[in-house]
Copies of this chain bind each other. A is one copy, B any other.
């Protein structure tokens, strides 16, 4: 089914107010869940909303706690998220990073003890839409084996790079696992195989069978040893800079993640701004042109997101009817 932006936004914000969020907080969160769904990232939009509400009800997310500064030097600050609302903590920190970048050219905020931020792209886009370059990442609970191991000990630590563009920002938002558990579960349910190997089976062989991977939980790091190394180094950066928890100390409820938010001000000189736009346009256009000569089509990071956003704006936002009903049932009135 397809619903209007306002229809979805109102439903979500009504529920969040009912479970105790202040109106402003409820509206910001509802906006983020609605935006993510509109952009086609339902996994971190409507599909995850019931779990978000349940974590609020169970006080894993402590809705009245606001982030508290625990240190800083110039353009670098450390904050404690105090197990507050993950998306609000993350908005706060990317906004701080932008404020620091306004002052210092570049700013970095390390955040500890925060709950799930949902979709990393939200914070990259938030910065890029205001004219900043951004790099953000989070650690997660252990959900992937290190390279050469069989047990889940490292995180799939999503990382986001975003920069302003002419028509829309470019944004890369990727977990460092090749596939998400959500993707594996979807394909198992539909009886399909993965397009490329996504993990190891019981015998330690790479496989495209989602069921075999879900049984071993040995999901493949993106780029194998490279994704595993990236996971480890992102965790070391975020956990130490925030004085927070590394992946190995993050429980299943993931209420103490460590995150990094870097914002970079690209300068204010008009001719530099124009030069930057020209370089970007040249890169994107020329790469696509060469591909087109061979009948091929390629996408730059974020183009898919904005295509889906456009479609949602034209046709309404897609929500699976089961999810819609589940969410509706959360509303008491």
Binding site for B on A (CB under 8 A): 71-76, 78, 103-108, 133, 135, 146-151, 153-154, 161, 163, 170-172, 174, 176, 178, 196, 206, 221-224, 226-227, 229-230, 232-237, 239-241, 243-249, 262, 264-269, 272, 275-276, 279-280, 282-283, 286-287, 290-291, 294, 296-301
Q: Which residues of B contact A240 (CB under 8 A)?
A: 163, 266, 276, 279-280
Nearest-Cβ distance from residue A295 to partner chain B, whole angstroms: 10
A149-B291, A248-B286, A283-B246 given; A71·B272 CB < 8 A? yes
Can you list 25 contacts pairing A with B, beta carbon distance less than 8 Å? A73-B268, A74-B103, A76-B105, A104-B104, A104-B106, A106-B106, A133-B237, A133-B241, A146-B291, A148-B299, A149-B294, A149-B296, A151-B296, A163-B233, A170-B236, A174-B229, A176-B226, A196-B224, A222-B227, A226-B227, A229-B301, A232-B301, A236-B300, A241-B276, A244-B279
Q: Which residues of B contact A147 (CB under 8 A)?
A: 298
Q: Which residues of B contact A249 (CB under 8 A)?
A: 282-283, 286
Task: For the complex, give the distance between the alpha carbons of A176 and B74 in Å.
Answer: 32
Are A170 and B243 in contact (CB-based, < 8 A)? Answer: no
Task: For the complex, give the distance between the alpha carbons of A194 and B232 in Å.
Answer: 25
Nearest-Cβ distance from residue A304 to partner chain B, whole angstroms: 10
Q: Which residues of B contact A279 (CB under 8 A)?
A: 239-240, 243-246
A71-B269, A105-B74 given; A296·B172 CB < 8 A? no
Task: For the complex, give the distance between the alpha carbons of A44 and B84 in Å.
Answer: 47
Q: Which residues of B contact A301 (CB under 8 A)?
A: 229, 232-233
Task: For the complex, give the distance between the alpha carbons of A297 and B105 in Å.
Answer: 42
Q: Which residue of B lies closest to A243 (CB)?
A: B275
Which of A247, A248, A287 has the most CB atoms of chain B within a 10 A radius of its CB?
A287
Are A247 and B283 in contact (CB-based, < 8 A)? Answer: yes
Q: How many copies does the complex hold?
A: 2
Q: Which residues of B contact A224 (CB under 8 A)?
A: 178, 196, 222
Are B248 and A149 in contact (CB-based, < 8 A)? Answer: no
Which of A148, A153, A239 has the most CB atoms of chain B within a 10 A radius of its CB?
A153
Task: For the complex, give the distance between the alpha carbons of A151 and B289 in Å.
Answer: 12
Q: Which residues of B contact A135 (CB under 8 A)?
A: 135
Pairs A-B, 8 closest by C-beta atoms: A222-B223, A74-B105, A246-B283, A76-B105, A223-B223, A146-B298, A240-B276, A172-B233
Are A262 and B265 in contact (CB-based, < 8 A)? Answer: no
Q: Which residue of B lies closest to A124 (CB)?
A: B233
A75-B75, A163-B236 given; A287·B108 CB < 8 A? no
Q: Which residue of B lies closest to A76 (CB)?
A: B105
Task: For the complex, give the distance between the alpha carbons of A229 and B158 in Å.
Answer: 14
A76-B105, A161-B234, A178-B226 given; A243·B276 CB < 8 A? yes
Q: Which residues of B contact A172 (CB under 8 A)?
A: 229-230, 232-233
Of B75, B237, B300, the residue contacting A161 (CB under 8 A) is B237
Which of A105, A176, A196, A224 has the most CB atoms of chain B within a 10 A radius of its CB?
A105
Of B105, B108, B223, B233, the residue contacting A178 (CB under 8 A) is B223
